[in-house]
Amino acid sequence: MSRLILILGDQLSPDIRALREADKETDTVVMAEVMDEASYVRHHPKKIALIFAAMRKFAAGLEEDGWRVRYSKLDDEETSRSICGELMRRAQEEGADEVLATEPGEFRLISALEDCPVTVHQFEDDRFLCSHAAFEDWAKGRKSLRMEYFYREMRKSTGLMMEGDEPAGGKWNYDHENREPAPGVIDFNGPMQFTPDETVEEVLDLVESRFASNFGEARPFWFATDRGQARRQLSHWIRHGLKNFGAYQDAMLIGNRFLYHSVLSLYMNLGLLDPREVCSAVEEAWQAGEAPINAAEGFIRQIIGWREYMRGIYFLQGPDYMERNALNHRRKLPELFWGGETKMRCLSETIDQTREEAYAHHIQRLMVTGNFSLLAGLDPAEVHEWYMSVYADAYEWVMAGNTIGMTQFADGGIVASKPYVSSGNYIDKMSDYCGDCHYSVKTKTGEGACPFNLLYWDFMARHRERFEGNPRMAQMYSTWDRMSDEKRKTIRSEAGAILDALSEGRVV
């Protein structure tokens, strides 16, 4: 009896595990665009278009390669709602009684495959550099699971940027060289933009007709949708963007949405690029003297450090991780996150860009929308769902640690040793947003005071019991204590007014 080989929309790697386990002569590959996947959150239309277009091209490539492929388009009449439904339908058509799959990156889908009436064997996804077992081993018995220590182990096990047992250049981490505001001139025009071909155009029409009410629009569309294009973007960025990636990775600029960022998460997360090949290409550029050590190390740390670590945390913590709410934050997500009016320039800039590109870089996600959500006490599950909905690179295995852990401190401090919060000062230092804002970043209280300034101290005061014992926060509490009673009262009452306005749907 033949078997089915399931390839999901983010498993578009030619050597994906399920294909390696398969027999080209007798097995049939199943790929399906299904409504359950396209709607478990209200994905940005650009993300759906990216996935469907890349799936169609990948399926065509497999056929050219001699595989028998059964591909279901979303608007085919017979296509069922779910991946399991499609497996059952194809199993009957093909007379197959088992399915080989690569483990999905989300508990929801792993359970759906386990519960599917047809037998599905799920093989571990070995596109990641750290297996579940290796992460569990690393985590076992540790009091704290800090990324930096995990990262060192990953450097050793991959050998990337190592000189024997020592890190290249003598230091594990060059982050202190990586915190510069944007320079006067940015000599990089951003990611390569690809003109939609016939396949992409067909998908864009489909997405426009079926997902018109989702946040954002499918067109204009320029993402790479196959491995060849993704590789061109990798080379383009290494040649022109990498050298300044390190220094300016925390900078934010009105009108420059990508700065020196690679915009490669989209393609790595889909499987079009392998994280190993990306890291090796960066290491080679550094070895050839084409990129400084702080850029190469900083980038490799994001991939073998943060990316692998976030996945490890997700699978270690389990399905209830997304429900954690250590700070008991309950405020509903305000309309401004969906493009509603706001007078805060940093938020409007980041959210407008997110709607138009389905992309924002790390510091915009962390220190603008994430910082604001935490300071405003927004419900972390709603925050998580927002991020899952609006970014084209969003998958739960990588998103959860970033939202629930890193930005919202909802896991009580597993990912972050202290909450990532800041007043307006940080945003002012790293961006040009404040100069163009209704509020004044230099004003701490009263008319026109920057909401980040007020909400920052209010957050510290609200959560004093939890955080005052944290040595990394002691200095902030002594600054707070040195303020006059009157000033503290004013801050709390003005912050309270902002929080009330958010809860009542008034413009902030």
List interacting residues with ligand DLZ (CB under 6 A): 8-10, 32-34, 37-38, 43, 48, 51, 83, 104-106, 109, 395
Q: Which does 427 bind (CB under 5 to 8 A by kind): ligand DLZ, ligand FAD, ligand SF4, none?
A: ligand SF4
In the complex, least distance from residue 423 CB atom to ligand SF4, rounded to whole angstroms: 8
Q: Which of 452, 456, 459, 467 binds ligand SF4 (CB under 6 A)?
A: 452
Q: Which of 32, 296, 360, 450 binds ligand SF4 (CB under 6 A)?
A: 450
Cα–Cα distance measured from residue 195 to residue 221, given in angstroms and rounded to the nearest whole number = 8
Positive or negative, the CA dihedral 462, 465, 469, 475 is: positive
Q: What are the CA-CA distances from residue 157 to residues 10, 150, 154, 165, 300 (Å)?
A: 26, 11, 5, 10, 13
Closer residue to ligand DLZ (CB): 43 or 463: 43
Q: Which does 262 bind (CB under 5 to 8 A by kind): ligand SF4, ligand DLZ, ligand FAD, none?
A: ligand FAD
Q: Which does 303 bind (CB under 5 to 8 A by kind): ligand DLZ, ligand FAD, ligand SF4, none?
A: ligand FAD
502 is an interface residue for ligand SF4 by CB under 6 A:
no
Cα–Cα distance measured from residue 453 to residue 475, given in angstroms and rounded to the nearest whole number = 17
Closer residue to ligand DLZ (CB): 33 or 297: 33
Per DSSP bridges, beta strands 162-163 and 68-72 are unpaired
Q: Which does 72 bind (CB under 5 to 8 A by kind): ligand FAD, ligand SF4, ligand DLZ, none?
A: none
In the complex, least distance from residue 422 CB atom to ligand SF4, rounded to whole angstroms: 9
Residues 6+ apart with CB under 8 A from 50: 223, 225, 266, 270, 392
Cα–Cα distance measured from residue 423 to residue 361, given in angstroms and rounded to the nearest whole number = 20
Cα–Cα distance measured from residue 443 to residue 439, given in angstroms and rounded to the nearest whole number = 8
Options 29-37, 99-107, 222-230, 425-433: segment touching ligand SF4 (CB under 6 A): 425-433
CB 405 within 8 A of CB 314: no
Give yes or no for a cis peptide into 191 (omega within 30° of 0). Answer: no
Positive or negative, the CA dihedral 130, 62, 9, 99 is: negative
Closer residue to ligand FAD (CB): 59 or 394: 394
Q: Which of 130, 344, 392, 414 binds ligand SF4 (CB under 6 A)?
A: 344
Closer residue to ligand SF4 (CB): 286 or 433: 433
430 is an interface residue for ligand SF4 by CB under 6 A:
no
Q: Report which residue's Cβ sits closest to ligand FAD.
A: 302
Question: Which of 458, 417, 479, 367 is CA-nearest to residue 149?
Answer: 417
In the complex, least distance from residue 83 CB atom to ligand DLZ, rounded to whole angstroms: 6
What are φ and ψ of residue 151, in 5° steps?
Answer: -60, -40
In the complex, least distance from residue 507 CB atom to ligand SF4, rounded to whole angstroms: 13
Q: What are the CA-CA distances from residue 473 to residues 181, 233, 375, 378, 488 (Å)?
A: 24, 41, 15, 22, 18
Per DSSP bridges, beta strands 98-102 and 68-72 are unpaired
Q: Which does 452 bind (CB under 5 to 8 A by kind): ligand FAD, ligand SF4, ligand DLZ, none?
A: ligand SF4
In the complex, least distance from residue 451 CB atom to ligand SF4, rounded to whole angstroms: 6
109 is an interface residue for ligand SF4 by CB under 6 A:
no
Closer residue to ligand DLZ (CB): 105 or 241: 105
Positive or negative, the CA dihedral 181, 185, 187, 188 is: positive
- Burial (CB count <10 Å: 0-12, 13-18, 19+), residue 471: exposed
Q: Which does 428 bind (CB under 5 to 8 A by kind): ligand SF4, ligand FAD, ligand DLZ, none?
A: ligand SF4
Q: Which of 10, 428, 458, 494 binds ligand SF4 (CB under 6 A)?
A: 428
Cα–Cα distance measured from residue 98 to residue 468, given in angstroms and rounded to the nearest whole number = 56
Contacting positions for ligand FAD (CB under 6 A) = 249, 261-265, 268-269, 299, 302-303, 306-307, 310, 361-362, 365-366, 370, 387, 391, 393-395, 398-399, 402-403, 406-407
147 is an interface residue for ligand SF4 by CB under 6 A:
no
Per DSSP bridges, beta strands 162-163 and 166-167 are antiparallel
Residue ranges in contact with ligand SF4 by CB under 6 A? 344-346, 424, 427-428, 433-434, 437, 439, 441, 450-452
